Amino acid sequence: MNNGLALRWVAALAEMEATGKLSEDHRFDLTTKWRSEVINLVKKEACLDYFEAAHDTDSIVSIRVKNQEGERPWLKKSELAKIFKAMTLDMSDKFPDHKEVAQRICFIG
């Protein structure tokens, strides 16, 4: 049994139920605004790139992470997996100058 997957589905179903109560126009406007804001935030970061070619749904923003070392321009899946894992942990002990941000646990798709 995958408890993490089950919890994501419980959260997703609750979100879908609440979102379904909004009018279609209101949902579209909120999604458009959210997407625009996220893309603007990504574009402000030198190590990130909004991957526009992957735009196939308005509720997903695909990004690439620049490779700071080596010849490849972008990190590969195994490297991104390390970032994903680190985002699910309290990393404040490793980044004492940025404790407030580093202690936040963040789950991404």
pLDDT in tens, 47-78: 999 998 888 888 889 999 999 888 899 999 99
Let me know whether 13 and 58 are in one domain: yes
DSSP class per residue in the chain: --HHHHHHHHHHHHHHHHHHTS-HHHHHHHHHHHHHHHHHHHHT-TTEEE-GGG---TT---EEEB-SSSS-SB--HHHHHHHHHHHTS--TTT-GGGHHHHT------
Alpha carbon of residue 65 to chain centroid: 12
Give the pTM: 0.69
The pLDDT tens digits for 21-42 are 999 999 999 999 999 999 999 9
Let me know whether 80 and 94 are in one domain: yes
Domain count, the chain: 2
Let me know whether 91 and 44 are in one domain: no
pLDDT at 92: 94
The pLDDT tens digits for 75-96 are 999 999 999 999 999 999 999 9
Positive or negative CA dihedral for 66, 68, 71, 76? negative
CA-nearest of 82, 80, 84 to 65 is 80
With tokens 């402000």, the residue in question is 44
Q: Which residues span the domain enclosing 21?
A: 3-75
Let me know whether 33 and 86 are in one domain: no
Tokens linked to 6: 């089950």
